[in-house]
Amino acid sequence: MFSRAEKTWLAEWWWSIDRELLGALIMLLACGMVLSFGASPAVAERIGLDEWHFVIRHAMFCVLAVPVMLATSLLSHRQARLSALFVLVVMTVLLWATLYFGTEVKGARRWVSLAGQSIQPSEFVKPAFAVISAWLFSESLIHRNVPGRWMAAGLMVLIVAALLLQPDVGQTALVVATWAVLLFFSGISWWVIIGLGLLAVSALAGAYMFFPHVSRRIDTFINPDAGGNTYQIDRAIHSLLEGGWFGRGPGESLAKKLIPDAHADYVFSAAAGEFGILFCMGLVGLIAFIVIRAMISAQRQTSLFARLAASTIAVQFAMQSGINLAVNLNLIPPKGMTLPFVSYGGTSMFAVAFGMGLMLALTRTKPEERMATGIPSYRSAVVAPAE
């Protein structure tokens, strides 16, 4: 069935997919499942649920996420682009719909209910926006008369406007950073990069002035003794220190049982308490391997669109992981950002599975490319049009 001599679609998929990258992603999912067993029961008991409530749901999300990722990885470049376009249109509409019909939680409207299930549209918007923007950028580089960069910028503004009205500053930053990464990959001068950096600093200052929850978090981060709520991050740091190099063992961490979001945003801290710093270093290493492997596989593509899209999704994955880890280590102010494939959350799990599936689809090798030796880089004048 997987023989090189076979001409079936399954055999072709198996020999064209980046199997090391696929294996690393499945391993990360497995790590998330293991950590769910350790971190979730205490959280469930504390809020009056059955102790296996989150574990069962997390397992269900993992079981469903794998076929989503595999099915998406079967797509051709053109099919991947069309599926991303469909998801982007639907989720952008839902993103705006949350402002009117969404569920309000802690003063923000980020969730919308569909068929009895709560969905956070912004999670799906991120990978779809990366792919469609990459296509627009590639078209503008290949056909100079196509205003692809401006169209991508307009699309970004449409998405960012809805996110700021929710408000969701964290997802806004990721969407803007995704566009900035594409701008960098497509080739811009250092003066533009400096200008964008100054604009980013101005945007952060604006967020501090106009969003009270952002200013509270920054003030508390800078001066924890000023009276802000630091309970969760204090427990998270305690859990990191409590575990030492090898951890206290599954279910034995004391600090983990006091972290409100030990199964979600602070699962990394809970992991440190139970399995130790060495395990956490291995987890970070696995995430780094996924990002680096994806970037290398992207560079092997002859299609400029595929190279830009796959690389941008990889960087987006790295940025989201980095934000979550930085919050757990108290390096930046707290921000509700999940650790991809590890934190609890159905919407996040399926959105990441879709994004990773697109990345796998865009880094598959064609038969004629397997023997290729000279693959043009991003800034090469030799580019292949998108399929």
What's the chain's average pLDDT?
85
∠ CA 239-262-177, rounded to 5°: 100
Whether pLDDT at 3 is above 70: no
pLDDT digits (tens, 9 = 90+) for 269-304: 888 888 899 999 999 999 999 999 999 999 999 999
CA distance 24 to 282: 12
Whether pLDDT at 340 is above 50: yes
Name residues whose C-beta falls within 8 Å of residue 8's C-beta, 6 or more positions apart in sequence: 1
CA distance 291 to 314: 5
51-60, 97-106, 205-214, 251-260: lowest mean pLDDT where? 251-260
Pick the more confident residue, 83 or 387.
83
Instruction: Name the pLDDT band for 74 (thresholds 50, 70, 90).
Output: very high
pLDDT digits (tens, 9 = 90+) for 90-149: 999 999 999 888 777 766 788 888 777 788 999 999 999 999 999 999 999 988 888 988
Helical segments of the chain, H only: 9-16, 19-46, 53-73, 77-101, 121-142, 148-165, 169-185, 190-210, 212-222, 231-243, 267-299, 304-328, 346-362
Pick the more confident residue, 115 or 381.
115
Choose from 139-143, 226-230, 352-356 the range with maximum mean pLDDT: 352-356
What average pLDDT does this structure show over 27-43? 88
Task: Supply 276's token pair.
Answer: 């130790």
Cα torsion angle, 83, 85, 90, 94, sign: positive
Whether pLDDT at 76 is above 50: yes
Cα torsion angle, 348, 350, 354, 357, sign: positive
Task: Supply 71's token pair.
Answer: 């099915």
Whether pLDDT at 225 is above 80: no
Q: What is the CA radius of gyration of the chain?
A: 21
pLDDT digits (tens, 9 = 90+) for 310-333: 999 999 999 999 999 999 988 888
Choose from 43-52, 104-113, 151-160, 365-374 the range with maximum mean pLDDT: 151-160
What average pLDDT does this structure show over 42-48? 82
pLDDT for 13 equals: 86
Q: Omega into 167 within 30° of 0, i.e. cis? A: yes
CA distance 270 to 282: 15
Which of helix, strand or coil describes residue 363? coil
Choose from 179-183, 256-260, 319-323 the range with maximum mean pLDDT: 319-323
Beta-sheet pairing, 117-119 with 103-105: unpaired
Is residue 66 within 8 A of residue 321, CB to CB? The reply is no
